[in-house]
Structure 1
Amino acid sequence: MDNFKDKIEGQMDQYDSEEKDQILENFNRFKQVLGDKVEKGEKLGLSEEQLAKGAELVANHLAKHEEPRNREQYLLQQLWEVGDKDEQHHLAHMLVKLVQKD
């Protein structure tokens, strides 16, 4: 799992500040980027559980390092902060499902 975590964090760090700003400013753009990553994971044969763990790592990273830039992100951050580990994991599953349907 640590290798998977390192890969996710490495990808998060690869975005330059302008590209990160463009992704985070617009919730639809954020969903599109997350959806692209989920689709790539599915093509690599990752299970829904693995995809959710990846989404969980991204959410933890964003909660620690980024301020919400729109109402949707603010709501997600608030839900993330009040949730326990199990609830955060369920929310990660829901985010994966959200971008899979788009």
Structure 2
Amino acid sequence: MSEQTHMINKDREMKLDQVQNVIQRMDAEQKEDILESFDAFKQYLSRRLSLGESLGLNEEQLSEVAQKVADILATKEEPRNREEKLLQELWNVADPDEKDTLARILVRFVKN
């Protein structure tokens, strides 16, 4: 691996870690507010994607962030509404390529 590729990967990992740290610092009340309704969840994800963009993340990196959020929600949170339940069920049966596709779709969905 070239030095430039190594530096790009290191920078990408640092940016992804910054976004993940924001998610992990969230308290229970904030999580409940976000997961209370699907619209609140979409608004939250949209704000997080904007944060990622402001940190210089590209579309692929934003999808990686969306995958991390989806993994956390699928394993640690109970769905609060039918839309979240559907997303969780789709996520749980998807293979890694399908999860990548779902994350990319979700990113585009909340951007529009």
TM-score, scaled to structure 2: 0.82
Which aligned pairs between 1:60-99 and structure 2 lie closer than 5 A? 60-99=71-110
* Paired letter, 2:28: S
Name structure 2 gaps, 5 residues minimum: 1-11
Q: Shift in Å at residue 5 of structure 1?
A: 5.3
Once the two structures are TM-superposed, the CA of residue 68 in structure 1 deviates from its matched residue by 0.6
Aligned residues: 101
Higher Cα radius of gyration: 2
- TM-score, length-normalised on structure 1? 0.89
| Backbone CA RMSD of aligned residues | 1.5
* Paired letter, 1:19: Q
Q: Counterparts in 2 of 1:36-75, with a 5 A limit?
A: 36-75=47-86
User: What one-letter code is carried by the residue in structure 1 that aligns with 2:47?
Assistant: D
Cα deviation for residue 40 of structure 1 reads 1.8
Answer whether contact 1:8 1:58 (CA < 8 A) is retained.
Answer: no
Greater RCO, 1 or 2 (C-alpha within 8 Å, sep 6+):
1
Structure 1 regions of 5+ residues with no counterpart?
A: none
Identity of aligned residues (%): 47
Q: Which amino acid aligns with 1:43?
A: S
For residue 29 of structure 2, what is the aligned residue in structure 1?
Answer: 18
